[in-house]
Amino acid sequence: MKGRTAESGTEITLAANAFTREGWTFSGWATSSGGSIAYDDNSGYTIGTADVTLYAVWGKLVTADNAATVIGGLEGGTRENPNVYMIKITDKTLTAEQLKKIGTTIETVANKSNYYAFFSLDLSSATELKEIPDKAFLQSYLSGLILPDSLEAIGISAFQNNGFEEIVIPDNVKSIEKGSFWGCSSLKTITLPASLASIGASAFKNCDRLETVNYKGTQAQWVQIKIDDYNDKLTGAKIICTDGIINGE
């Protein structure tokens, strides 16, 4: 990829990854060789006073339709060089029990590997999935997540205590239940749809790094969302609506 130049202090948008690696999927950019992900594709980056090289981080692509296949394809790395995985689930008709089993499976592998592995989960192929059930991925040590466009609801504590930095909630989701993302302390940015009608209590409690909410509706629509107690980190973030910004410039 071509190098880029900009004045010190300028914020640029990183160019989309143009590299490929057979059998692997691009996960993000690190600031050192063998380092962990610091930036997503197309992230903003503020130019410093010296040249910077970013390194592509590759995840081993594990394609599976059930939990048994998932656990058979995962293993831990080392502290210096942890394994990175993108787990793509191909089953279009996932049930609640199957989802919970996959979540438990990933947690089991994370524990066995002493956490020297980072897992991203791609559910985009589950085109008939309407709801993520309660506690499906509670503490599954996920660092990345792609949800299907068919999704309409996210259950109680569905993704509590995971390691996401960024989440995009699909356009058809109407409800995010209580505790859904409680304790996702690495979360910095979330994209919410205009369809959203309610956010349960503590859905974003202890998301202490949450800075930006990209909301696909207007400011008037935002204030109509029923947001229950203990979501101060969400409501106090910079909320970028289609017609302006709440809590910031």
Q: For residue range 123-168, what is the model confidence (pLDDT) as tens digits?
A: 988 899 999 999 999 988 898 898 999 999 999 999 999 998 889 9
Between CA 83 and CA 95, with CA 89 as vertex, the angle to 5 degrees is: 130
Dihedral of alpha carbons 187, 121, 148, 200, sign:
negative
pLDDT for 29: 85
pLDDT at 38: 75
8-state DSSP, 39: B
Q: What is the CA radius of gyration of the chain?
A: 18
C-alpha dihedral, 29 to 34 to 37 to 40, nearest 10°: 20
